[in-house]
Amino acid sequence: MNRTRFAARRLAQGLVALLLIVVVNFFLIRAAPGDPAAVMAGEAGAGDAKFVAQLRQQFGLDKPMIEQLGLYLGHVALLDLGQSYRQQRPVADLIAERVPATLLLTGSAFVLSLLLGITLGAWSSSRVGTWSDSLVTTVALIFYATPLFWVALMAVLILSIKLDWLPGFGMATVGQNLSPLGHAIDVAQHLVLPAVTLALFYMAIYARMTRTSMLEVSRMDFVKTARAKGVPRGRIWRVHILRNALLPIITLAGIQAGQMVGGAILTETVFAWPGIGRLMFEALLQRDYNLLLGLFLFTAAMVVLFNVLTDVIYTIVDPRIELR
């Protein structure tokens, strides 16, 4: 099978997954407490039955379930995720506004965690049994076991409140009229703490995986052959071991690029970073179920998208992969 057809097939599988998630989402919306029409009527200050019935008809809530599902699928296909009952605005608009902030945060954290994690893992695997190897392994183990939101809080407590080195709240300083360059520097300063915190957890995973993977590859026959041939040590590490050991890391990184959007929920909540995750926390506080489920659908779609992308990239990186 050629590459284009493989990509098309993976995309189709991704779409099926997405469709199923949309259907589940529909039933979750129905399961949410409170009839949306009753809630809206209550907020409009008119609780009488006639008005509620009129609203139900207006939003199609009086139609049979299967027809409602069809309508819902149609709306989602047109990127219409309904209204946020609390904010009186389309859910899709609310989400779109917050995407850039989340991309900035997760993108920087992603790059940082991959670079640091692979470097540390490779470094410690070349020094197995020494104190520096144990140090990296222990630190990775600790960050792996620490709740992300707590690391975030501790970072704010120590670096922002006690030492006053970096801002620990929001994305920019409020009420300052800065030049474009000044604004960029201001945002960068606000980015440091959330990005590093989010990166630490993933760094721990990448470091552990790189170390294990490199040790595994270094025991393989082709590495022994290279040694026997007298290939220089540094070249064996770089060309023979690292390149092969990185393949599982790429797979994991692809999965996590999508998952990071979900992982950012806690980080954004602690740092009041105005992204998707923070919006989810706000939706929770206000029990804004439509917005909550819209966000859920969005994050799930991101993961599906990144999974398909990873699979396609993977076949390009590793020609041994069979296209099935």
Partner 1 sequence: MRDFWRRFRRNKGALVGLAVLAAVLCLALFAPLIDGGDPWAMVQRPFLPPFELAHTLFGTDTLGRDIGTGLVYGARVSLMIGFVSTVAALVLGVTLGAVSGYYGGWIDAALMRFTELFQTVPSFALAIVLVAIFQPSVGSIVTAIAIVSWPPVARLVRGEFLTLRQRDFVEAARLDGQSDLRIIFVELLPNAASSIVVMASLMVATAILLESSLSFMGLGDPDLMSWGFMIGAARTVLRQAWWMSVFPGLAILMTVLALNLVGEGLSDGLNTKLGGGRGNAGL
Helix, strand, coil shares of the chain, percent, nearest 5, are 75, 0, 20
Q: Given the complex with partner 1, which of 55 and 300 has the nearer CB atom? A: 300
167 φ/ψ sector (left φ>0, alpha ψ -120 to 50, else beta): beta
Binding flag, residue 292, partner 1 (CB under 8 A): yes
Q: Is 76 in the site for partner 1 (CB under 8 A)?
A: no
Cα(320)–Cα(6) distance, rounded to whole angstroms?
15
Beta strands 83-84 and 89-90, pairing class: antiparallel
How far apart are the C-alpha atoms of 295 and 123, rounded to whole Å?
A: 39
Please tell me whether residue 274 binds partner 1 under the rule CB under 8 A.
no
Task: Pick one of 44, 79, 115, 141: the residue that binds partner 1 (CB under 8 A).
Answer: 141
- Contact (Cβ atoms closer than 8 angstroms) between residue 17 and residue 297: no
| 157 vs 195: CA distance, rounded Å | 16
Q: Which of 55, 101, 116, 252 binds partner 1 (CB under 8 A)?
A: 252
* 89 beta partners: 84
Closest approach of partner 1 to the CB of residue 122, in Å: 17
Interaction between residue 31 and partner 1 (CB under 8 A): yes
Among 12, 20, 185, 220, binds partner 1 (CB under 8 A): 20
Of the two residues 6 and 281, which places its CB atom closer to partner 1 in the complex? 281
Q: Where does the chain show beta strands of DSSP type E?
A: 83-84, 89-90
- Taking CB under 8 A as the rule, does residue 314 contact partner 1? no
Residues that bind partner 1 (CB under 8 A): 17, 20-21, 28, 31-33, 141-142, 144-150, 153-154, 156-157, 161, 201-202, 205, 208-209, 212, 252, 256, 258-263, 265-266, 269-270, 280-281, 284-285, 287, 289, 292-293, 295-296, 299-300, 303-304, 307
